[in-house]
């Protein structure tokens, strides 16, 4: 049996989506790692927190979040009056799933005097157990703000934790989570690309292995990478993160060359959403993401505390 994509063109799908988007008074958000065609149809493309903040500013009634589950949760927390749809409910984040709320409570029992900080790449339940949230863009500022605290628990990404610990000189109590996509990028990949492109600058995500970060010119969030690509005088850039971001970089900077540090750096969850699923989601208002009010209130507190700092 033929699939819809085999009998209907992407152009036709896009036209139907745009019609329904207007009818539903909706806004489409796409993370920097999404498929090219998803990024192209989105109203906004960016990082997870930035997209949720953008959604909160719009007059849209419906948010179609093309990302992974924790991102849609964050949008639901920051936009409680709006309907948040995730076109594929199976689009999860393995790193976010590496720690549970009970794990967090047990950590706090072991370190009762510690301040708790969670990476935004965590579930709403985990955010609700933490004092502060952070992003890869502002994690250094958040930890520096807490410099007088004797103990700081940081979850779930041990590599981002290692990065910020080195940047701030602050020893952290780390959870042993990690991003399976970013750890696929190994030092040999960077060395090989630098040999192939000796004039290129190297930027990598701080979720990468420490040995990879050590070989880079800059360690940056996805938003930071987009800004670097735009403002750097470098004509060639090696990019150490999920390869979906290269579509936006090339689109916004046609005069520059961008090379993936590793073609293995593909997040299968980020690639689950396509134009068909966006259309189905809008047609039937499928896969609404809700957060229980008591969890949402506590989770928002950790996000608000972060925003007060940065």
**pLDDT for residue 7:** 53
Quick one: pLDDT at residue 5? 43
- The total number of structural domains that make up the chain: 3
- Omega before 111 cis (within 30°)? no
What's the rounded mean pLDDT across residues 26-54?
Answer: 96
Q: Are residues 17 and 85 in the same domain?
A: yes
State whether 136 and 214 are in the same domain: no
**pLDDT bucket at 8, cuts 50 / 70 / 90:** low
| 107 & 153 share domain | yes
> What does the DSSP assignment read for 194-241?
HHH-TT-EEEE-TTS-HHHHTT-SEE--HHHHHHHHHH---SEEEEES
Domain encompassing residue 191: 182-260
**168 and 225 share a domain?**
no
Per the domain annotation, does 77 fall within a domain?
yes
Rg (CA), the chain: 20
Kindly state whether residue 116 falls inside one of the protein's structural domains. yes
Quickly state the pLDDT bin for 20 (edges 50, 70, 90): very high
Q: Is residue 12 part of a domain?
A: yes
Last residue of a domain, one of 136, 161, 179: 179
Q: Is residue 197 part of a domain?
A: yes
Task: Read off the pLDDT of each residue in 230-251 and give the average, rounded to a whole number.
Answer: 98
pLDDT greater than 50 at residue 3: no
In angstroms, the CA 189 to CA 202 distance is: 11
- pLDDT confidence band for 137 (50 / 70 / 90): very high
Please give the average per-residue pLDDT across 210-235, as a whole number: 98
The pLDDT tens digits of the residues spanning 65-101 come to 999 999 999 999 999 999 999 999 999 999 999 999 9
Asked whether 72 and 91 are in contact (CB, 8 A), the reply is no
Per-residue pLDDT at 55: 87
pLDDT above 70 (res 4): no
CA nearest neighbour of 46 among 164, 135, 179:
135
216 and 155 fall within a common domain? no
In this structure, are 81 and 68 located in the same domain?
yes
First to last CA, the chain: 52
**Does residue 6 surpass a pLDDT of 90?**
no
* Closest by Cα among 237, 234, 241, 248 to 263: 241
Q: Residue 101: what pLDDT?
A: 98
Domain-ending residue, one of 130, 150, 179: 179
Domain membership flag for residue 8: yes
């Amino acid at each position: 049996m033929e699939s819809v994509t085999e009998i209907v063109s992407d152009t036709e799908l896009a036209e139907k989506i745009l019609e329904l988007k207007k009818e539903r008074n909706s806004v489409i958000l796409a993370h920097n790692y999404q498929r090219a065609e998803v990024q192209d149809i989105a109203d906004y493309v960016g990082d997870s927190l930035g997209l949720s903040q953008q959604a909160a500013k719009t007059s849209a009634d419906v948010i179609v979040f093309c990302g992974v589950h924790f991102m849609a949760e964050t949008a639901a927390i920051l936009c409680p009056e709006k309907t948040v749809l995730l076109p594929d409910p199976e689009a999860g984040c393995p790193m976010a799933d590496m720690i549970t709320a009970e794990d967090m409570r047990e950590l706090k029992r072991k370190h009762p005097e510690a301040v708790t900080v969670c990476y935004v790449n965590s579930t709403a339940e985990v955010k609700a157990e933490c004092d502060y949230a952070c992003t890869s863009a502002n994690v250094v500022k958040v930890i520096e703000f807490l410099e007088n605290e004797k103990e700081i628990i940081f979850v779930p990404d041990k590599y981002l934790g290692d990065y910020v610990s080195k940047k701030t000189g602050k020893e952290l109590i780390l959870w042993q989570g990690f991003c399976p996509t970013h750890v696929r990028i190994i030092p040999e990949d960077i060395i090989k690309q630098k040999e192939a492109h000796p004039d290129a600058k190297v930027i990598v995500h701080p979720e990468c292995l420490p040995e990879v970060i050590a070989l880079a010119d800059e360690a940056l969030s996805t938003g930071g990478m987009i800004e670097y690509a735009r403002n750097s005088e470098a004509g060639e850039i090696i990019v150490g993160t999920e390869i979906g971001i290269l579509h936006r970089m090339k689109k916004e900077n046609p005069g520059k060359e961008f090379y993936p540090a590793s073609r293995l750096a593909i997040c299968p969850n980020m690639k689950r959403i396509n134009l068909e699923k966006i259309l189905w989601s809008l047609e039937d208002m499928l896969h609404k993401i809700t957060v229980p009010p008591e969890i949402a209130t506590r989770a928002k507190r950790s996000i608000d505390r972060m925003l007060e700092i940065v």
